[in-house]
Each structure stands twice: as structure tokens, then as C-alpha cells.
Amino acid sequence: MGYVRLLRRRPVLALWGAQGLSVFGDRLYAMAIMWLAWEKSGAAAMGLVAVAESVPYIVMGTVGRRLMDRFASLRALAAVDASRIVLVALLPVAWNVFGLPAMLALAVAVGAAGALFDPNLGALVPDLVRPSEVQAIYGLTDLTGRIARISGPGAAGVLLAVMPQGALFWLDAATFAVSAGVLARLGRGAHKSAPTGKRPAAPETLGTRLLLRSHPATGAAIGVHGVGIFAQAVSFALPALLAARFHAGAGTYGLILATTGAGALAGNLAAGHVRLPSRLPVVYCAVWAASGLLLAFNGLASNLPVLLALAAASGFLAPFCGITLQTHLAAFPAGPRRRLMSLDLTIIRTAGTASMLVVPAVAAGSPTAGFLTGGLITVAVAGIGAAASWWWTRDTASMRVPQPEPELSRD
């Protein structure tokens, strides 16, 4: 199995383990900060905290290219994680002493650190493996996030029963300490093995706009991602749909979420190993179109077994979206790859923040219409994106960027 083979390499195992722990800590942090905001200042504070963390991603992706480039190494990312140790550990203290303004300021700082860290690490991950293994390594990172999303909230509930709320922040800070140590160690090894010759300057300095003009199918895929994230926010109105149509409550909602999670784990094992076609932007848009169709069918479901089947199918498709796009972007040289990953993160953060402000509330008033509208919009935009990408990638040879085979070590 590809995952097992990759994990036999010490650098991959160390990075995967450290990032898995860090992502798990992030789930504890997310629950803790939202609960703290609710407890101290109510629902409005929860929304402000969510926006405060998202704004730095949007700003950094829009105007922070030069700053982003300064952190394009494992050693620099270790320093970012070191800063997050302090920021996260200070959050509960800052709230108790200075209140909501201090909490929001630290949330912005944590978001800014994440905006520097996430696209840079995503762009560096392919350098740990051979080009033929990029899909599998992104499958591993996708699996990490999905396991954390499933286990994090339950673990947080158990931990809160035996320790104070502030301890969740300290645990998250400890996971950043582990991640910083691993990145610093890997960064020292990468620095020693780096070639001394000059790297080609042209691909590295290529601007984002020129990249998108040169690779319009990639731009279409990233655009579809943003629209899909915006439209999929209607899924937060699922409790309203369950109550209105099936007179079901929290237990049924939890069962559907668990079914979605199980489907996503199964989908990850397939998406990380199945051979993907050469026209990845076309595949990516087509998967989003299928996801939109399933979302629309939620509004038409006649009984709970149908909803559960739709949940399992939607979960199964989700890893194909993430792994397909990441694998496609990894084919670009390091600089353009980083810019495109940053652009994608900026777009989905913008779409996610905007959608959460309006879509769930509107869909809750008429959940059936909300699911149909969100799903059909996704189908239409993704279908157009797939058709356009197919046209732009008729010459598939022009899509491939030659990459040298790196020399890998098991140490």
C-alpha cells in the first residue's frame, strides 16, 4: 500500500506524525476558542473570532506574496510554529485580563501565522517524495485532517471533563512545539543536501496573473473550488431539513455526520491510490459537479436511508476533490506552486467566510430550496469549468512540467 511505503521513510513519518498531532491540536483549539467566546460574550463573539482568523488568509493571499516567499523553507516554518506556541498559550490569559479585543488580536495573529504556514508547507511536501508519489503523500495529509475532524471534538469533550478549559490551548501549544522541532530537524537536513548551483529564476518569479493566463484550466479549477465551498455552506442547514421534513433531532444529525466521515475515510484510501487521468483540472471539476448533484438530492430525499446513502457518497467524493487539486498544483515548480496554493487558500477562505455570514441562515428558512439551489449552482459552475478545462487541455503535453527525480533517503 502506498501510504505504508511512504511512512517507512523517516522524514515522511516524522512530518506526518508531527502534522497529524498539530492538526489534532487545532481541532481542540477550534472547539476551545469557540466555547470560550460563547461563554464570555455570546454568539456574536463566535462569529467575530471566526472572521478574525480568516481575514489574514485573505489579506496574505492578496498582497502578501513577498512575505510569503520569505517563509518558503522548513526552517522558516519551524519559526512560524514556534510563534504559534506563544500565541495560543496566551489566548486564555489574554481573554481573562483584557477581554474580547485581546482575544481578537491574538486570533488575527494566529490566523496570520497559519496563512504563512499552510500554503508554504503544502508547496514543500512534494519535495519529500518522487513525482510518482505526490498523489499518495497528499492522500496522507488529507487522511490526517479527516481523522482529526472525526476524533477532535470527541477528544475535546473527554478532556474538558477532566481538565480546565485553558488546558486545551496549552495542549495545542504543545503540538506546535512538536511540529516546530520536527520541521527544524528536517530543515537542517534539507539545507545540508541542497545543491549549491543557482536555480532557474524565470519559473520562480512568474506572477500569479501570468500563471493563470498560461494555465487557464488551473484557474478554472481554483474558481470552481471557491464556488463549491460557498454553495456547500448550505449543508449547515441540514438540522433544519431534518426537523422540517423528518421530525428528526440531534441523534439523526450525528448519525449522518458519522456516515459522511466514514465515507470520507473510504474515499481517501481510493483517492490516494487510484491512478488519476492526465487532465486533472477536468477530473477535479467533474468531481465537484457530482458533489453538487448529491447536495441537490438532499433536498429531494424522501426518507432517512436515502439521506444516509447520500451522506456516504458525498463523503466518499470529498477526498478526490482535495487530493486531485493538490496533485495537479504539485506539478508546477516550487515558486508557482506556492503562489497557486496560496491563491486557492485565499479563495476558499474568502468564499467560506462570506458564505457562513448568509447561506446557512437563508437556507434554514427553506431547507429544501436551499439544498436544491446550492447543489444546482455547484453543478452548473463545475460543469462549465469541466468543459472549459477540457477545451484548454486538449494538448495534454503542455500541461506537464518536467521535474527532476529527487534523491531520497530512508533516514
Residue bearing the bigger pLDDT, 325 or 200 = 325
Higher pLDDT pick, 266 / 34: 266
If one counts every other C-beta atom within 10 angstroms of the C-beta of residue 257, the result is: 16
Quick one: pLDDT at residue 200?
38
> How far is the C-alpha of 300 from the C-alpha of 297, rounded, in Å?
5
Of residues 155 and 366, the one with the higher pLDDT is 366
Q: Are residues 236 and 290 in the same domain?
A: yes
Over range 92-97, report the average pLDDT.
Answer: 86
The yes-or-no verdict on residue 74 having pLDDT over 60 is yes
Provide the grid cell at 146: 479527516
Q: Are residues 313 and 377 in the same domain?
A: yes
Helix (H, G, I), strand (E, B) or coil at 4: helix
Return the half-sphere exposure (C-beta side, CA atoms, 13 A cut-off) of residue 1: 10
Residues 279 and 387 in one domain: yes
In a domain, 408, yes or no: no
pLDDT band at 196 (very low <50, low <70, confident <90, very high): very low
Residue 407's alpha-carbon distances to 74, 93, 194, 347, in angstroms, are: 18, 47, 11, 34
Q: Is the pLDDT of residue 357 over 70?
A: yes
25 φ, ψ to 5°?
Answer: -60, -35
Q: Are 59 and 177 members of one domain?
A: yes
Is residue 164 over pLDDT 90? no
Residue 97 phi/psi, 5-degree rounding, is -90, -45
147 domain-assigned: yes
Does the residue 9 lie in any domain? yes
88 vs 176: CA distance, rounded Å? 9
316's CB contacts (< 8 A; 6+ apart) are 263, 264, 266, 267, 270
For the entire predicted model, the pTM comes to: 0.88
State yes or no: pLDDT of 338 exceeds 60. Answer: yes
Place of cell 477540457: 390
Per DSSP, helices labelled H in 42-99 are 43-63, 65-69, 74-98
- Domain ends where: 163, 192, 221? 192
Closest CA to 349 of 143, 179, 119: 119
Q: Does one domain contain both 230 and 320?
A: yes
pLDDT digits (tens, 9 = 90+) for 111-126: 999 999 999 999 999 9
Q: Based on the fold, state whether residues 125 and 41 are members of the same structural domain.
A: yes
Instruction: For residue 396, give the DSSP letter.
Output: G
Lowest mean pLDDT among 64-68, 201-205, 259-263, 367-371: 201-205
For residue 218, being part of any structural domain is answered with yes
What is the domain extent for residue 368? 208-394
pLDDT at residue 73 is higher than 70: yes
Pair 272, 364 in one domain? yes
> What one-letter code names the amino acid at 286?
A
| Residue predicted with more confidence, 256 or 206 | 256
Dihedral class, residue 194 (left if φ above 0, else alpha if ψ from -120 to 50, else beta): beta
pLDDT value of position 348? 93
Residue 127, exposed/middle/buried by CB under 10 A (0-12, 13-18, 19+)? middle
pLDDT of residue 39: 77
Residue 131 domain-assigned (yes or no): yes
Residue at 74 is within a domain:
yes
pLDDT score of 33 more than 90: no
Question: Given a cut of 50, is residue 407 above it in pLDDT?
Answer: no
pLDDT higher for 69 or 35? 69
Residues 301 and 170 in one domain: no
CA 264 to the chain's CA centroid: 14
Same-domain status, 295 and 381: yes
Let me know if 166 is exposed, middle or buried by CB neighbors in 10 A (0-12, 13-18, 19+).
middle
Among the three residues 192, 226, 252, which one is the final residue of a domain in this structure? 192
- Considering the chain, what percentage of its residues have pLDDT values greater than 70? 91
> Do 121 and 234 have their domain in common?
no
pLDDT number for residue 191? 54
Share the mean pLDDT of the chain. 86
* pLDDT at residue 203, rounded to an integer: 45
The three-class DSSP label of residue 272 is coil
Q: Identify whether 21 is part of a domain.
A: yes
pLDDT in tens, 271-307: 999 999 989 999 999 999 999 999 999 999 989 999 9
pLDDT at 362: 79
Instruction: Considering only CA atoms, give the Rg of the chain.
Output: 21
pLDDT for the residue numbered 63 = 82
* Domain edge (last residue) among 168, 192, 216: 192
Q: Are residues 50 and 164 in the same domain?
A: yes
> Which one-letter DSSP state was computed for residue 249?
-
pLDDT of residue 294: 97
214 lies in the same domain as 359: yes
Q: How many domains does the chain have?
A: 2
Considering the domain boundaries, does residue 404 fall inside one?
A: no
| CATH number for the domain harbouring residue 277 | 1.20.1250.20
